[in-house]
Homo-oligomer: A and B are copies of this chain.
């Protein structure tokens, strides 16, 4: 049964042919984008527009209906009015189509009538071996097999999978990933999940060799027990990041009208998360921060953090936040302190943790990396938090070099998107938008995560520590 499920979903991710309803050369329709997505990303199989009124659409031969297509169709994308959906699903079931992405809204999220319409669709699909994704969803992005749900996405694959009950969030994550140097294995916009649901995709991704990290945005799941069982098991080999909304009565109500979800009690989700080793986040920046930290699978051996910062104020703030979040400020050895005082000027600085580099970084841009290497090599230090207001290319390269020498996790608080009105100094080379994603990717792969605030960085380091503890306790480890 599980094997069936996995091969069914696998077939949907690797279609040889796709039929798309609702595209037109004559009228601007949503179906146009849905068809164009596959052309844009370079889908290599057959594309079949379905439009009874037009001969061709976007230069492709158009078919009056699904059943008029002679060759097999593996995947169907539907954006028709709800009244017209049952018929095309019927045809798809008959034609042995493997999966249908139902973009159309107007189902469970609108109440009981809509829920019945969904159940009807599932009943029809079961006449064949057809599996449904949606309704009220964006569908799939899978760069390796050239599936996409929005134009302009990258063809590069990466280790991150994302299961999302929000379509717009899935799109944002896909687009923002391109800018932030994060590449994906599979992005799944579930919508109402009338058939294939979060648990099904979680099970699939747990077994997917392309996927190393699973992130989920969930409003609720139908079968909480199964989610817990799957999560606990998969967490032992792949980290799972969970952004669970619907934690308050207002959020619960909102989730109901968004995807018709039943959210479940906050306390239960918190307990499940803890037992299953899940990493919780609560907004897109936290999500990206944790993702960037997990791309390199090594985990800190303990929770003793050293802070290296040129600005003294943020160094103090970061020290506060690290302690609040449950990290220990590492006690540096006398050897390290002595070595630090050889390279850091003795005025306006501190060689105790947090290390305050002071003003000299402005004239000596190697100071960050030299200090980071010194504290990172200290045996009392498990990980390093580096604070620098803005990311530049030299700084990024120096971080990568430092990490090579210390082999410990680093979390960097910096702004990668800051626009500089004019360059203050020639030594400061901004990351230009073209090269930024490549450099960021190299940072992540080196075990250096990027965060916007000291709070995000500290929480992420705590998450890495806790995940390490979870793996140690459950007897499995993804790193040595």
Contacts and interface: CB of A to CB of B under 8 A. Distances in A.
A144 interface: no
Contacts of A282: 317, 321, 455
Nearest to A356: B258
Nearest to A347: B105
Interface string A145-158: 00000111000000
Given A283-B453, A424-B151, A164 B350 contact: no
A90 interface: no
Given A347-B105, A418-B179, A314 B248 contact: no
A230 interface: no
B313 A168 contact: yes
Q: How large is the interface on A (under 10, 10 to 19, 20 to 34, 35 or more residues)?
A: 35 or more
A315 interface: yes
A319 B261 CA distance: 15
A415 interface: yes
B312 A258 contact: yes
Given A251-B319, A319-B254, A452-B285, A313 B348 contact: no
A69 interface: no
A243 B453 CA distance: 14
Interface in A302-331: 307, 310-317, 319-324, 329
Contacts of A320: 245-248, 250-251, 254
- Chain A binding surface, main DSSP class: mixed
Interface in A136-174: 136, 150-152, 164-169, 172
Contact of A316 (B30, B110, B255): B255
B254 A179 contact: no
Contacts of A250: 319-320, 322-323, 329, 354
Given A418-B417, A419-B436, A312 B168 contact: yes
Given A105-B358, A172-B311, A316 B167 contact: no
A420 interface: yes
B254 A350 contact: yes
A273 interface: no
Contacts of A150: 424
Interface in A216-271: 217, 219, 243, 245-251, 253-255, 257-259
Given A104-B347, A419-B433, A283 B166 contact: no
Contacts of A455: 282-283
A352 B424 contact: no
9 contacts: A104-B347, A167-B312, A168-B314, A248-B320, A254-B307, A254-B316, A254-B356, A258-B350, A285-B453
Q: Which 8 residue pairs of A and B lie closest in terms of their CB atoms, listed nearest first?
A: A166-B313, A168-B311, A105-B348, A417-B417, A251-B320, A248-B323, A105-B347, A169-B313
Interface of A: 28, 30, 82, 104-106, 109-110, 136, 150-152, 164-169, 172, 176, 178-179, 217, 219, 243, 245-251, 253-255, 257-259, 282-285, 307, 310-317, 319-324, 329, 346-350, 352-354, 356, 358-359, 363, 389, 415, 417-422, 424, 433, 436, 452-455
Given A168-B359, A250-B322, A417-B419, 20 more contacts: A105-B358, A106-B348, A110-B346, A151-B424, A152-B424, A168-B312, A179-B418, A179-B421, A243-B317, A246-B316, A247-B320, A248-B324, A250-B320, A251-B319, A254-B354, A257-B356, A258-B313, A283-B317, A283-B453, A419-B433
